[in-house]
């Protein structure tokens, strides 16, 4: 029987008191973590190396099951084998190492693999694949073998595969780690569009500037949630943020230093363009 909270559990991913201890490990990788992932919102997940971010990510689509506690996706528990495939269809996942999720022999087959398995009809498949490849800037490489791509191209391919699934939730484990200026902004723009269309997003990163417009931020430290709030709240105390291992973006440091020089730079100026604009206008 479901408890009274079942209605709340619909329409979100809930992690409740989740712990994970890997076989042979001395300490848990996640230790009583509770948080939720909400449709149409982006949760940024930060934290030092080894703090448990990827472990948390793997829990969301039942790639990993908690040692204790529970993970519930739209009312379905990830330990329930009967709903496993429904969960996998709802929750897209871009792994930290894109190599781990390449399945097709050529790029377009790789992207088509997920939706095809979900029974998407052939005529729709084509447009889904083309849209996804276009969104990540891989158009033109449809017939290339995935293992012959550069690492950044592989990372984009993994993202395209997740986009083509059109999932309700999307968990991305450091999706821009291998991407340069343009590639990075392509991916960030695609994520903003998805959020606007109601997709619930978990964005794992070491770069706060990539998630400055996230709706919520959680910072993990040794498997526990050390901070939970908004990006602005995290930046309100730069020293506390750095104690949590979060690098305060250099542009934020510049804006603060300019304010100390008496230049009125708005608190929401997070880009080089907007800071320069503020200096010019003042």
Partner 1 sequence: MALVAANLCYTYAAGTAYEVPALLGLDVHLECGDLLVIAGTTGSGKSTLLRLLAGLLRPSSGTVGLDGSPASDRRSRGRAAMVFQNPESQFFAESLLADVSFGPRNLGAQEPARLAADALAAVGLDPDTFGDRSPFTLSGGEARRAAIAGALAMRAPYLLLDEPTAGLDRRGRRDVVLAIGRERHRAGVAVVTHDPEEFLPSATRVLALHAGETAFAGSVDELLANPSPYLEAGLRLPEVVMAQLFARGRGLPVGAMEFEPEAAAARLSHARGTRS
CB 30, CB 19: distance < 8 Å: yes
For the beta sheet containing 13-20, the strands, ordered from the edge strand earlier in sequence to the opposite edge, are 30-37, 13-20, 68-73, 76-77
Of residues 102 through 131, those in contact with partner 1 by CB under 8 A are none
Burial of 36 (0-12, 13-18, 19+ CB in 10 A): middle
Does position 273 interact with partner 1 (CB under 8 A)? The reply is: yes
282 binds, among Mg ion, partner 1, ligand ATP, none (CB under 5 to 8 A by kind): partner 1
Q: What is the DSSP string of 24-82?
A: T-SS-SEEEEEEEE-TT-EEEEE--TTSSHHHHHHHHTTSS--SEEEEEETTEETT-GG
Does position 50 interact with ligand ATP (CB under 6 A)? The reply is: yes
**Pick from 149, 188, 191, 208: which binds ligand ATP (CB under 6 A)?**
149
Closest contact distance (angstroms) between CB of 100 and partner 1 is 9
Stretch that binds ligand ATP, among 53-61, 128-136, 191-199, 248-256 (CB under 6 A): 53-61
Stretch that binds ligand ATP, among 68-76, 100-108, 122-130, 148-156 (CB under 6 A): 148-156
CB 81, CB 88: distance < 8 Å: no
Does position 237 interact with ligand ATP (CB under 6 A)? The reply is: no
**Pick from 42, 54, 78, 205: which binds Mg ion (CB under 5 A)?**
54
Which residue shows structure tokens 């399945």?
103
179 vs 265, which CB is nearer to Mg ion?
Answer: 179
């Amino acid at each position: 029987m479901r408890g009274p909270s079942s209605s709340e559990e619909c329409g979100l991913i809930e992690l409740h008191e989740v712990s994970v201890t890997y076989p042979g490990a001395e300490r848990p990788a996640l230790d009583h973590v509770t948080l939720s992932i909400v449709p149409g919102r982006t949760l940024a997940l930060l934290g030092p190396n080894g703090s448990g971010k990827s472990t948390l990510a793997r829990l969301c689509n039942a790639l990993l099951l908690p040692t204790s506690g529970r993970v519930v996706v739209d009312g379905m528990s990830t330990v329930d084998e009967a709903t496993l495939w429904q969960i996998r269809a709802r929750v897209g996942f871009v792994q930290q190492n894109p190599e781990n999720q390449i399945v097709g022999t050529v790029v377009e087959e790789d992207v088509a693999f997920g939706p095809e398995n979900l029974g998407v009809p052939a005529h729709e498949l084509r447009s889904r694949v083309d849209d996804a490849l276009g969104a990540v800037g891989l158009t033109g490489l449809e017939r290339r073998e995935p293992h012959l791509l550069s690492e950044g191209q592989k990372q984009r391919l993994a993202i395209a595969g997740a986009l083509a699934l059109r999932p309700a939730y999307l968990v991305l484990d450091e999706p821009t780690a291998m991407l340069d200026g343009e590639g990075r902004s392509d991916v960030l723009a695609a994520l903003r569009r998805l959020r606007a269309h109601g997709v619930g997003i978990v964005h794992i990163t070491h770069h706060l500037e990539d998630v400055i417009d996230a709706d919520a931020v959680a910072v993990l430290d040794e498997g526990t949630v050390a901070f939970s709030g908004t990006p602005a709240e995290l930046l309100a105390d730069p020293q506390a943020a750095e104690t949590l291992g979060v690098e305060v973006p250099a542009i934020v440091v510049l804006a603060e230093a300019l304010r100390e020089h008496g230049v009125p730079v708005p608190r929401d100026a997070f880009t080089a363009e907007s800071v320069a604009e503020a200096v010019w206008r003042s």
